[in-house]
Amino acid sequence: MRRVAALCLTLMLTACSGGSPDPAPPSEGPQAGSHCADAADRGKRVGFATPAGTRLAGVELGTGSKGIVLAHQNGSNLCEWLPFGQRLATLGYRVLAFDFGGDGDSGPHQGDDRLDDDVVAAATHLRTSGVADVVLMGASKGAAASLAAAVTLTPKPVAVVSLSAPVVFGGVSAEDAVPRLASPALFLAAENDHPFADAAQQFDAAAPKAVPHQVFIAIGAEHGTGLLAGGQATKVTELIEAFLKQHAPA
């Protein structure tokens, strides 16, 4: 089992300091959401770290005891999730959109950290700050990382939502993780977004029969969070919200 440890909270990008109060925010350096400051200002900028020391930046939205981790796709950052994150917050969820190590305002990966370690760290940050149940939701590489994290995170997430997950990304195998899922899963992709549509159907077939799961292949070629703004955005949004209401009601 991959390591999961309680993480120290920080308000900005600082290293953990066991037992000490949160340090003051640094006066210089990047802040979470610097690429979309206006949108990020609507939430709370936070920093946290993996056990290996990778410093991650995030923006929290909303309140409540149900939390949702939003993991971005390749070549992007947390900003892509903030519009939908705001919607989820209005539904009663506490949302954390974060930058992967080496992306956006997060520091580079340390030690043997992988993408799924970042997702576990984000979920642990929510739990150590008062969230009881966590949903993992990711786009593309973030979806692969979320699926892999779902089988190592303890306690398990109450649900996983995958938008256009690849089979493997950056040494993280969603293909290996899906047959071991113990959490309800929703697999989404667009029919002309290859090979991701095939991967979504493969995941649906491989997921354990005893675990609730479903797949939806949208018309079009949108990828990742593009599914939330494409021709079937309304349908995709309704499916996600219905899935959350069933398995992780706010």
Q: What share of the chain in percent tops pLDDT 90? A: 87
- % of residues, the chain, pLDDT over 70: 88
What pLDDT is recorded for position 27? 33
Q: Which domains does the chain have, with CATH numbers?
A: 60-247 (3.40.50.1820)
Decide which of 86 and 64 is more confident: 86
Q: Give 39-64 pLDDT, tens digit per residue.
A: 999 999 999 999 999 999 999 999 98
pLDDT of residue 30: 61
Burial class for 168, CB neighbours closer than 10 Å (0-12, 13-18, 19+): middle
Give pLDDT, residue 3.
40
Local structure of residue 137 (DSSP, 8 states)? E
Measured between alpha carbons, how far is 118 from 46 in angstroms, rounded to an integer? 14
- Return the pLDDT at 151: 98
Rounded Cα distance between 200 and 194, Å, is 10
For the chain, the average pLDDT equals 90
The per-residue pLDDT for 31 is 87
Q: Rounded to a whole number, what is the largest CA-CA distance in the chain?
A: 52
